[in-house]
């Protein structure tokens, strides 16, 4: 088993990991199964899913913002880990279906899909080279998990409500994974928080409310997680969450629980230092290792610049691993996907055939601050100043906050 670099950590499946959250919600609302990350029984559960709000962003703000102090003073605060990969695709699929990446088969922003014989973007439901949301001409039931957490909860008598930015609802991915829930598209976070509060007051009986916010993730990608723009976005989020939601509902719902968590954190990167394996001279000869589709195109790029997945020709795995590891020494680890599956990085089994077909053979895991990617004639130029997907603490450690709204 490889020794982890000092800043790499493993997902703690079953011992404090995002993947434990769907079962936690199931138990809180229905009493079914094990207790999970938070104990108790509630009529209503509200989950704020704040994309990219990792522990490194929570910790220095927990005493400065009233919204976060509320959990320290009247609730609980736990540090948990993301799944691997530390990506939005893996985590939104998990929270909608209850499945970790190795079971759902949805693990990254883009990967090889055998049904399309090419790279797809599952959340956009598009081919890898297409910007058009919903343009993938494959029935969702062929490539996405069959059931949802909302369908399970509905069978147990729990009404489910999803608040998410309006543009996300245009994707067949969302339409498929939201089955069993009533959806509430929103334009701005203040409007979403207000509508959520009003609905929480109005709904009677068991109910689950899910609110997804991706504002800080987008700003972090564009400007970096230590930028003033990122700080301003977090500031607005936390003030709005306190003023428009928590202050309005605290003490009024005796049998309701508020949860706040994130899918991953984020790490600083510099697009000018990205290593492109199909463009740098030292990688000359890489072509013979990589698989192609029926049209002769390389199965690339898959994953992200923080976790790049490679599809290797049969019989060349050991040689390919040595080739890329030697050229990325001091910048990245090069791991065998099969070994990482066996070691539980992608979650507990059973291992789905879809995952095995999509995940490839090698994964490049850059060290802190590094990115490794695919140039593709400039089509895939890395332009982010903040990114995630890897195993560093800044990407993997996240908060889980809980408080009863009646307190």
Q: Of the given ranges (1-5, 84-88, 222-226), which has the lowest mean pLDDT?
A: 1-5
Q: Which of 178, 101, 175 is nearest to 139 (CA)?
A: 175
Q: Residue 170: what pLDDT?
A: 84
Q: Residue 406: what pLDDT?
A: 86
Mean pLDDT score, 349-359? 95
Sign of CA dihedral 362, 365, 366, 367: negative
Residue 5 has pLDDT above 80, yes or no: no
Coil, strand, or helix at residue 360?
coil
Mean pLDDT score, 301-309? 98
CA distance readout (Å), 390 to 84, 86, 166, 171: 7, 6, 29, 26
pLDDT in tens, 131-156: 888 889 999 999 999 999 999 999 99
Sign of CA dihedral 80, 219, 196, 104: negative
pLDDT in tens, 66-108: 999 999 999 999 999 999 999 999 999 999 999 999 999 999 9
- Radius of gyration for the chain, computed over Cα atoms and rounded to the nearest angstrom: 21
Residue 54 has pLDDT above 80, yes or no: yes
Q: How confident is the model at residue 129 (pLDDT cuts 50, 70, 90)?
A: confident
Which domains, from first to last, does the chain contain? Answer: 18-267+392-404 (3.40.720.10), 271-387 (3.30.1360)
* Long-range CB contacts for residues 298-301, cutoff 8 Å, separation at least 24: 299/112, 299/118, 299/119, 299/360, 300/119, 300/374, 300/376, 301/110, 301/119, 301/128, 301/373, 301/374, 301/376, 301/380
The model scores a pTM over 0.75: yes
Q: Residue 131: what pLDDT?
A: 80
Instruction: Round to whole Å and give the CA distance between 65 and 70.
Output: 9
Class of residue 316 by CB neighbours under 10 A (exposed 0-12, middle 13-18, buried 19+): middle
Residue 371 has pLDDT above 70, yes or no: yes
Instruction: Round to whole Å and give the CA distance between 164 and 211.
Output: 6
Q: How confident is the model at residue 2 (pLDDT cuts 50, 70, 90)?
A: low
What percentage of the chain carries pLDDT values higher than 90?
Answer: 93
Q: How confident is the model at residue 4 (pLDDT cuts 50, 70, 90)?
A: low
Mean pLDDT score, 213-241? 98
Q: Of the given ranges (3-17, 213-227, 244-258, 282-296), which has the lowest mean pLDDT?
A: 3-17
Angle 113-266-237 from CA coordinates, rounded to 5°? 110
Q: Residue 344: what pLDDT?
A: 97
Instruction: Round to whole Å and give the CA distance between 322 and 341.
Output: 20
Q: Of the given ranges (5-9, 330-334, 396-400), which has the lowest mean pLDDT?
A: 5-9
Share the mean pLDDT of the chain.
96
What residues have CB less than 8 Å from 189, skipping those under 6 apart? 213, 215, 236, 237, 240
Question: By the 8 A CB rule, do 391 and 84 touch?
Answer: yes
Q: Residue 15: what pLDDT?
A: 96
């Amino acid at each position: 088993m490889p020794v982890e670099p000092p800043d790499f950590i493993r997902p703690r499946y079953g011992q404090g990991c995002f993947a434990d959250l769907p079962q936690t919600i199931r138990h809180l609302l229905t009493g079914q199964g094990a207790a999970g990350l938070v104990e108790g029984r509630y009529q209503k559960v509200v989950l704020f899913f704040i994309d990219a709000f990792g522990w490194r962003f929570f910790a220095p703000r927990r005493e400065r913002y009233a919204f976060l102090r509320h959990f320290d003073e009247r609730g609980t605060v736990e540090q948990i880990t993301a799944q691997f990969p530390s990506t939005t695709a893996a985590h939104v699929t998990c929270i909608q279906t209850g499945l970790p990446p190795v079971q759902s088969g949805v693990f990254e922003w883009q990967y090889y899909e055998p049904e399309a014989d090419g790279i797809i973007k599952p959340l956009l439901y598009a081919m890898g080279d297409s910007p058009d949301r919903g343009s993938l001409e494959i029935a969702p039931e062929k490539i996405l998990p069959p059931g949802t957490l909302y369908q399970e909860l509905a069978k147990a008598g729990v009404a489910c409500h999803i608040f998410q930015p309006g543009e996300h609802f245009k994707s067949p991915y969302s339409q498929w994974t939201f089955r069993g829930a009533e959806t509430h598209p929103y334009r701005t976070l203040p409007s979403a928080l207000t509508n959520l509060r009003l609905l929480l007051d109005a709904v009677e009986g068991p109910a689950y409310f899910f609110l997804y916010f991706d504002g800080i993730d987008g700003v972090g990608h564009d400007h970096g997680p230590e930028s003033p723009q990122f700080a301003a976005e977090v500031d607005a989020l936390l003030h709005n969450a306190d003023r428009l939601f928590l202050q309005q509902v605290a003490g009024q719902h005796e049998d309701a629980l508020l949860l706040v968590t994130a899918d991953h954190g984020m790490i600083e990167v510099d697009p000018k230092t990205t290593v492109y394996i199909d463009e740098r001279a030292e990688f000359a000869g890489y072509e013979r290792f990589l698989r192609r589709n029926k049209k002769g195109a390389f199965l690339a790029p898959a994953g992200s610049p923080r976790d790049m997945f490679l599809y290797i020709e049969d019989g060349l795995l050991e040689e390919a691993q040595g080739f890329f590891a030697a050229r990325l020494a001091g910048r990245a680890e090069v791991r065998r996907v099969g070994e990482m599956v066996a070691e539980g990085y992608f979650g507990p089994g059973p291992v789905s055939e879809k995952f095995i077909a999509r995940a490839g053979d090698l994964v490049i895991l850059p060290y802190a601050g590094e990115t490794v990617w695919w140039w593709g004639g400039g089509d895939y130029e890395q332009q982010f100043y903040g990114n995630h997907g890897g195993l560093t603490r800044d990407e993997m450690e996240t908060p889980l906050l809980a408080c009863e709204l009646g307190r």
